Amino acid sequence: MGMLGDMKVADPEIYKAIRKELKRQREYLEMIPSENFASMNVLRASGTMLNNKYSEGYPGKRYYGGNEFVDVIERLAIERARKLFGVPHANVQPYSGSPANFAVYSALCSPGDAIMGLNLTDGGHLTHGWKASITGRFFRSVPYHVKEDGYIDIQEARRLAIENRPRLIWIGSTAYTRELPFEEFATIADECGAYLVADISHVAGLVAAGVHKSPAQHAHIITTTTHKTLRGPRGAMIMVTEKGQRKDPELPDRIDKAVFPGLQGGPHDHTTAAIAVALLEASTPEFADYARQVVKNAKMLGEELMRKGVKLVTNGTDNHMLLINLTPFGKSRGVLAQEALEAAGIVANKNTIPKEPGSPFYPSGIRIGTPAITTRGMREGEMREIAGIMAEVLNQAKDYELPEDAAKREAYMRRYRKEIKANKAIKDARIKTLELCSRFPLYPEMRL
């Protein structure tokens, strides 16, 4: 009997879709930097009967009975998080990254308070105060930006902080390819009296492995998802540092109350168990080797792409991701490149670039990363192969141009998809990516 047991008979439609998704993951190069492949043990923990339990409250202080063993699991997850990240307090109950970040606002801010975060189109995150997010509507968002070279403008951030005296400052990103300047922002936050919150969702695994500096000595609070470079389930954590406790001894309690009962009901106990498994895996020498390889691969991929004439924001990376600037071919080209790459077997995502000339829906960049392909076992040699494939694919897409009239774009994209899939060079690239995937099988032990 396979992993899904009798589902093939009980619900053949869902069974078929899951099998097709497994086939897709096996046969494509997953290069969205926020995606990864969890281990079989993480998947096993996530799929247990822990799904059945309600556990409102915290270990030893539950509202329902029957939580003896759930308490054991959550305490293990908490202790492993504290040890791995060097913090005195951890909350492992947030459902995902955005709810975790909003819990921080709930614990620290009142509506209308000034807050600061990296501007979305400069590489920031929706929940750091972007205007379309509830965080940009409930609070007075004062975004900081990157400079012409793509690096965070620390002097601008300091000036804005002194002028606006924000209640909290975010340091974190979704599309920033350089090491996050925790120390510099700690100085800024201390100078203006703000709480500094480090959102390390993208680099948590790199921080845990020591290949990206840690914010534990500099920030008051750390938030992170658990499914990106940490290679766990889709969950999140909020951690309070020693510095945070010194600033506010009640901060751990305020965070816990903001999560429950402030914003959430019962935690997802199956996810808590899977987080605990992932944290244990992340504490091993093997995981440290993996994280180092993620960065080596990203650096090699970036060097090879630039050697082939592809323009990168900041001319490279310090972490797991690269941001390709497609403006030499015209604006709003991210969607065209994304479609062409996927037709060739490479899954990436369109993304804004600094000083974006287009829009978030039709941006001028492509964001790629190495966590998932490194999990499959690929190294520098494969990065050279992938760079060659990508450069050829981008070259095939460069002569297409989205209509300026937005009403004509849907029909244009339908024609474009057909043409790009029929392109001989794209078909040849697809053969190469299939061969590459076959050399590094994904979940070979998984039977459906």
Q: Write out the catalytic residue numbers.
A: 54, 56, 199, 225, 228, 234
Give the three-state DSSP class for 162: helix
Give the three-state DSSP class for 324: strand
Structural contact between residues 392 and 432, judged by C-beta atoms closer than 8 angstroms: no
In this structure, how many other beta carbons lie within 10 angstroms of the beta carbon of residue 404? 9
Q: Name 201's Cβ contacts closer than 8 Å, sequence gap at least 6.
A: 34, 97, 125, 172, 174, 223, 224, 225, 228, 236
The whole-angstrom separation of Cα 194 and Cα 168 is 5
Instruction: Tell me the H-state helices in 118-241.
Output: 134-138, 154-164, 182-192, 204-209
Q: Is the dihedral of CA 205, 19, 349, 99 positive or negative?
A: negative
DSSP label at 49? G
Listing DSSP states for 327-374 in one string gives GGG-SS-HHHHHHHHHHTTEE-EEE--TT-SS-SSS-SEEEEESHHHH
Instruction: Tell me the H-state helices in 149-268.
Output: 154-164, 182-192, 204-209, 242-247, 251-257
Structural contact between residues 192 and 144, judged by C-beta atoms closer than 8 angstroms: no
Structural contact between residues 370 and 54, judged by C-beta atoms closer than 8 angstroms: no
Residues 443, 237, 230: CA angle, nearest 5 degrees: 30
